[in-house]
Amino acid sequence: MMVNLIWFVTIFILMLYLNHWIMSHVHGIGLLVFKKEWASIWLHFLIFLPGIIIHELSHAVMAFLLGVKIGGFHLGPKKLSDENIALGSITVFTDSSLLRNLVGVAPLIFGSFAVWMISVWLNVNIFVESIADGDMVIFIEILLENITTPTFWLWLYLLFVIGNAMLPSTSDTEYLGPVLLFSGVITTGIIAFDLVTFIPAYIHISFSYFIYGTSIILTIIVIVNLIFMIVILVMEFLLNRMTGLKIQYN
């Protein structure tokens, strides 16, 4: 389980970094093309629209399942402050921090499910497992089989936009901080004091499968992001040469 946990933490941090890089550079490409902030934001919105729709619908579905009242469903760029812009939003009416947190993390749950289903359709899950097992024969076979499929690039695009839009926003996780801190302290304590042996076997096995499955999903997202990262770098390089402009990123 320890190996899977290290894999999970490492790949999750890498996914967060790539997500930040991609969002920044897609915005930068928009600025190079249109030279206007708001036009760049709209380009960003249109590129990630399928993922944004799933993100907001995930909130709505989870709220419905939990019996939480919602309203104010909105799609499209909306300025919240000088620094914050929402590409979609939904209002949740509840005083319960637990229910609000569950609705808030819904895009991560439904987005992961969507990524897994698309990956199974494309055999990407086997693709990732072959990398983990070092089986390059299966790796090459699946790669060649997929790239010759007419709809492959469409599904790859959907993996890209869903994987990058499924992360909860700041407002989604407003009340989640203490929960994550508590969970982190408990997990660290269990590992540090070697208390794993005291955990019932069925919980240990279920948690191990959960971490393993989630790590595969995150690895799929990271691989897809690395592919699109190359595409973005090439596009940005060409636009730099064509316009004579270069975006400085923080």
- In order, the DSSP letters of 50-103 are HHHHHHHHHHHHHHHHHT-EEEEEEEEEEE-SSS-EEEEEEEEE---HHHHHHH
- pLDDT classification of 21: cutoffs 50, 70, 90: very high
Q: pLDDT of 111-157, one tens digit each?
A: 888 988 888 777 776 766 676 666 677 767 777 777 777 788 888 89
Q: Is the pLDDT of residue 1 over 70?
A: no
In terms of Cβ atoms closer than 10 Å to its own Cβ (0-12, 13-18, 19+), residue 146 is middle
Mean confidence (pLDDT) of the chain: 81
Q: 3-state class of 20 per DSSP?
A: helix
Six-digit token pair at 20?
């930040």
Residue 238's nearest CA partner among 19, 45, 32, 27 is 32
Six-digit token pair at 63?
């709220």
Q: 3-state class of 156 per DSSP?
A: helix
Q: Is the pLDDT of residue 108 over 80?
A: yes
Q: Which residues on neighbouring strands pair with residue 93, listed in sequence order? A: 69
- pLDDT classification of 52: cutoffs 50, 70, 90: very high
Q: pLDDT of 156-188, one tens digit each?
A: 899 999 999 988 776 655 555 555 555 565 566
Q: What is the pLDDT of residue 135?
A: 67
Mean pLDDT of 60-67: 90
Question: ∠ at Cα 18 (223, 38), nearest 5°?
Answer: 125
Residue 58's nearest CA partner among 118, 94, 109 is 109
